[in-house]
Amino acid sequence: MGREVIIVFIRYEGYSPFSMTFVDEDQGLVESVESIPGPYSGEQVHSVFIGNDGGLAPGEYTVDVEAPGPWQIRLFQERAIRGQPPEIILAGSGDGGGSWLQLEEGEYTMTTSHTGTSDFTVELFDAKGVPPYQIVKTAGDHEGATNFTVGGGSLGENPQAGIYAKGVLSLGDWSVTITSNGAP
């Protein structure tokens, strides 16, 4: 697995909890996906970078699955060369995201809505494989807008211009819209 982003697509038809764990060369466990009692269908985005303590770092992995029912997994890692510019609209139910988007330096607004009692998290995952940028984290029913800056600041403070995957963690229905506030 190289330094970038990996997207995990899972479909599980059982009614007991499901877990998928990446196991590294030293037999260290890096848990990736764990569900409440199934069924489960969703995708999760993960950053792969050097120094990712407790997360995925570049290297060789096997995948350990515990699922008392039928399941399918697809792991997807590609070198993104372009993404969709804003306005970007995504909606779904449960964990999702994964589409590539192109952000230039400037100001943006992320408008989000979520229905349900679970946590709701939206992160941007740099295609280069660096720690993700958490834009929204809340619980329960939610509607709101969050402004964020691309560029400037110290490394890790703000996303930098480039290509990103959007990751959403949720058990409810959600929508995410990213608009540019004058960025090219």
**Who has greater pLDDT, 26 or 109?**
109
28 in any annotated domain: yes
The predicted pLDDT at position 52 comes to 80
Can you give the residue range of the structural domain that contains 172?
88-180
Report pLDDT digits (tens) over 5-21.
888 999 999 888 888 88
The pLDDT value recorded for residue 58 is 87
The pLDDT value given to residue 78: 79
83 in a domain, yes or no? no
CA separation for the pair 174, 113 (Å, rounded): 5
Q: Which residue has the tokens 């997360």?
A: 55
98 has pLDDT over 90:
no
Q: Domain end: 76, 104, 131, which one? A: 76
Q: What is the mean pLDDT of residues 36-49?
A: 86
Q: Are residues 163 and 94 in the same domain?
A: yes
CA dihedral (88, 74, 20, 96) in degrees, to 10, reads 20
The answer to the question of residue 81 being in a domain is: no
Q: Do 42 and 112 fall into the same domain?
A: no
Give pLDDT, residue 27: 67
Judgement on whether residues 66 and 139 belong to the same structural domain of the protein: no
Q: Let me know whether 117 and 172 are in one domain.
A: yes
- Among residues of the chain, what percentage have pLDDT more than 90? 46
Tell me what the mean pLDDT of segment 58-68 comes to: 89
Residue ending a domain, choose from 36, 51, 76: 76
Instruction: Based on DSSP, count helices (H) and strands (E) in the chain, helices before strands.
Output: 0, 14
Q: How confident is the model at residue 184 (pLDDT cuts 50, 70, 90)?
A: low
